[in-house]
Structures are given as C-alpha cells and as structure tokens.
Structure 1
Amino acid sequence: MYEGPIQDLIDELGRLPGIGPKGAQRIAFYILSSDKADVERLAATLREVAEKVRFCEVCFNISEEDRCRVCRDPRRDRTSICVVEESKDVMAIERTHEFRGLYHVLGGAISPIDNVGPADLHIRELLTRLQDSTITEVILATDPNLEGEATATYIARLLGGTGVTVSRLASGLPVGGDLEYADEVTLGRAFSGRRRLNEGAAQS
C-alpha cells in the first residue's frame, strides 16, 4: 500500500474495466513520471467528458447534444433500427458503411452472473420506439457470445407479435468475439448475410 494521493489514484484506476491491480499501478506511476502539463491536459479532458458528454435521449448513443449525430441526420433510413450493446459498437458498424439506418444502444447484455437482467437494459425504450409504424426491421447486432445471443433471443421473442421483421447478424462474426475488434470487411459481410428471425410485415 502506498500513501495518500498515489494510492487513491491506483484504487481509482483499478476500478476501470480490464485493469487489474498491477496495471493500475503501472499507469499510476506513468502518470506520476509524466510532465505536469500532460497530466493537467488529461485531467482537463476527463472533466470535459464528465461535463459535456451525455446519452442520446432517443437511442442512448453517446452524444454532446440531446440527440446524437445519427438520430439528427435526416438522410438516415428511418425504417430500420440496429440494436447494439454499447456505443463503441455503433462506431464499429459505421466504419463498414453498410448500414444507413438508426441505432438503439442497450447499455449492455443480459448476464445473470453479473446481475444484469432485461430491466437493466434499454429494452423498454426500444419497444416504445417500435410504436412508430415507419419502422419495419430490427437488426440484432449484439455480440456473438453467450450474453449477446441470450439478449438477441430475448428481444426477438418480445418482438414476435409486432409485425416488425427481426434479423440477426450472421456470417463473418466468430462466436465468442466482440464487434469492437471485428474489421470492416468482416462486419460488412455479416450485415450482407444477416438472417431473418421472424417473418414480420414483409410476409404479411
């Protein structure tokens, strides 16, 4: 244990996802050995993020305004919504230039082991958005792992009687992987090869 502010910094860094005690210690001592101007710039950036960045009131993507860039764009296809787990997944999909619709960020995935259930995600808000009759397709782009598949299955069941076509990203994404680390070509092929989970309005 270190004394005072350095231990406080290590403790705070250790709370970040993917950073263990040793990693937190390395980052803390890197900051300690950095120029004061660099440290102050980092602190100012963190303060700016805390003060200015929020979640879009429509899709829950990160934004500096009440509505995110995608939701404000009148050129987007408003008949389809792509459902993702996190805002980083929106950026990954946007890089493919394959999808021109809207997004809905759940804020995670169903994970009983982490005490995350459907009520902890933005699923209710998704159902509210689907009351707009212009939406004809929901693309479930949750991660291809156990939690992502469980979340996609749960949402697909909820949407079964809505008349909306529900599809799931298919070929190209390995099971157990994360969208964040998929390259543009792989994600693009996954969109092109998405499979339908119900018949929806297209078959009525």
Structure 2
Amino acid sequence: MYEGAVQDLIDELGRLPGIGPKSAQRIAFHILDADADDMLRLSEAIRVVKERVKFCAVCFNVSEQDTCNICRDDRRDPTVLCVVEESKDVMAVERTRSFHGRYHVLGGSINPIGGIGPEQLHIRELLTRLADDRIQEVIIATDPNLEGEATATYLTRTMRSLGIEISRLASGLPVGGDLEYADEITLGRAFEGRRSMLTQ
C-alpha cells in the first residue's frame, strides 16, 4: 500500500474495466513520471468528454449533439436497422464499410446473473422505432456469447409478429484460426453458416 494520493490513484484506476491491481500500479507510476502537460491534456480530455458527450436521442449511440452523425446522415438507408449492444460495436461495424443503414444501441445485453433484464435495455425504444413503416429489415448484431445469444433470441421473439425481416450476423471461425482451439458455440455456428463452394 502506498500513501495518500498515489494509493487513491491506483484504487481509481483499478476500478476501470480490464485493469487489474498491477496494471493500475503501472499506469499510476507512468502518470507520476510523465510530463505534467501531457497529463493535464489527459485530464482535460476526460473532463470534456464527461461534459459534452451524451447519448443520441434516436439510436443511443454516443454523440455531442442531440442526435448522432449517423442518424443525421440522409445518405444512410432508412429501411435497414442494425441492433448492437454498445456504441463501440457501431464503430466496429462502420470499419467494415459494408453496412449503410442505421443503428440501434441497446446499452448492453440480457444478463440475469448481472441483474440486467430487457427492461434495463433500450428495447422499448427499439419497438417504438419499428413502428416506422420504412424499416424493412432488422439485423441483430449482438455478441456471439451466451448473453448476446439470449438477447438475440428475446429480440427475435418480441419482433416476430411485426412483419419485418429479422436476420442475425453470421458467426464462425476466424481467418487463420485452428479448429482445435475453437469453442463449441463458435464451431457450431461455423457449421450452421457453411456455404457451398460450387456457387462461388
């Protein structure tokens, strides 16, 4: 244990996701050794992001305005909606340059053990958006884990009667991966999503 401000900094850093005690200590000492101006810029960036950034009133993506730049973009296809868990997932999809529709960010996934049910997510708002007759397809792009699968199943059951096409992102083996290291869910998905080599 360190004294005073150093220990307080380590404790606060340790509360960040993915930062264990040793990493928190390493980062704290980096901050102590770093140039003061660099650390002031870091603290100012944190202050500004907490002041300015909010969630889009339409899709719940992060934005500095009431609506995000994707929702404001008239060139986006309004007939297709991609449902993701978090704002970082929007950026992951955008990097592919393969999707040109709009998004809906749930704010997490269904996780009964963690106390997160459908009520804690932006599912009610999603259903309100689906009242727009322009939306013809919903692509469910939740994570391929137990919580993501539970969320996708819940969404599919909830939206089934709306007469909208519902699809789920394919998942399977990563390029360069080995079969022996694939878990059962990933390998099972790869079999389900297989495609004919003769039609390529």
1:71, 1:102 within 8 Å by CA — same for their partners in 2? yes
Query: Is the 1:86–1:106 Cα contact (8 Å) retained in structure 2?
Result: yes
Residue in 2 that maps onto 1:75 = 75
Deviations 1:62-110 (A, max 9, x none): 1111100100000000011000011111111111111110000011111
Return 14-23 or 71-80, whichever deviates more. 14-23
Corresponding residue number in structure 2 for 1:197: none
CA distance in 1 between counterparts of 2:172 and 2:127 reads: 28
CA–CA distance in 2 between the matches of 1:131 and 1:78?
13
Distance, in Å, in 2 between the alignment partners of 1:122 and 1:60 is 8
The 5-angstrom pairing of residues 82-121 of structure 1 reads 82-121=82-121
- 2:56, 2:67 within 8 Å by CA — same for their partners in 1? yes
How much does 1:11 deviate? 1.2
- The one of the two structures with greater contact order (alpha-carbon pairs below 8 A, sep at least 6) is 1
Which residue does the alignment assign to 2:177?
none
| Distance in 2 of aligned mates of 1:173 and 1:128 | 35
| Higher mean C-alpha displacement, 134-143 vs 107-116 | 107-116
Q: Does 1:59 align with 2:56?
A: no
Which ranges of structure 2 fall in alignment gaps of 5 or more residues? 175-189, 194-200
Percentage identity across paired residues of the two chains: 69
The TM-score, its normalising length taken from structure 2, stands at 0.84
Aligned CA distance change for structure 1 residues 57 and 122 (closer, same or farther; 3 Å):
same
Alignment partners' CA distance in 1, 2:79 and 2:25: 49
Superposed CA RMSD: 1.5
Residue 38 of structure 2 corresponds to residue 38 of structure 1: yes
Are 1:137 and 2:137 matched, yes or no?
yes
**Partners of 2:171 and 2:38 in 1: CA distance:** 44
SS at match of 1:10: helix
Amino acid at match of 2:98: E
Q: How does 1:150-161 map to 2 (within 5 A)?
A: 150-161=150-161
| Equivalent pair of 2:10/2:24 in contact (CA under 8 Å) | yes
Q: Report the counterpart of residue 127 of structure 2 in structure 1.
A: 127
Conserved 8 A contact 2:144-2:171? no
TM-score norm. by structure 1 comes to 0.83
Cα distance in 2 for partners of 1:93, 1:104 equals 12
Q: Which amino acid aligns with 1:59?
A: C
1:172 CA displacement: 4.6
Cα displacement (A) at 1:171? 4.2
Larger Rg: 2
State the one-letter code of the partner of 1:158: T
- Moved runs in structure 1, 4+ residues, more than 3 A? 171-174
